[in-house]
Amino acid sequence: MADTNFACRAGCGACCIVPSITSPIPGMPQGKPAGVRCVQLDELNRCKLFGQPSRPQFCLDFKARPDTCGNTDQFAFDHLNQLEQATQP
């Protein structure tokens, strides 16, 4: 069960850097490889597409959760890297 009280940490950006996204993103028509910063991530590590219909489905489906994001940005980067590596073909 998801923790509905858990909120994304402003400035983290792990979910916009670590995972590969295979669908088009405005400014990245081929998507983005794992570990590449999304062009839609601003200088404060906030998504410029948040709440917009052009946001990729992958991003819409991702929800910040304690077990994924933990208590620190470093935990989020490390955990998402582990998930990315575990799901590679």
Other beta carbons less than 10 A from residue 22's beta carbon: 11
Is the pLDDT at 2 greater than 70? The verdict is no
Give domain limits for the chain: 14-86
The confidence band for 1, taking pLDDT boundaries of 50, 70 and 90, is very low
Tens-digit pLDDT profile for residues 14-58 = 999 999 999 999 999 999 999 999 999 999 999 999 999 999 999
**pLDDT score of 5:** 73
Residue 21: DSSP 8-state? B
**pLDDT score of 3:** 55
Closest by CA position to 89, among listed 20, 27, 6, 28: 20
Residue 20: exposure state from Cβ atoms within 10 A (0-12, 13-18, ≥19): middle
Total-model pTM: 0.87
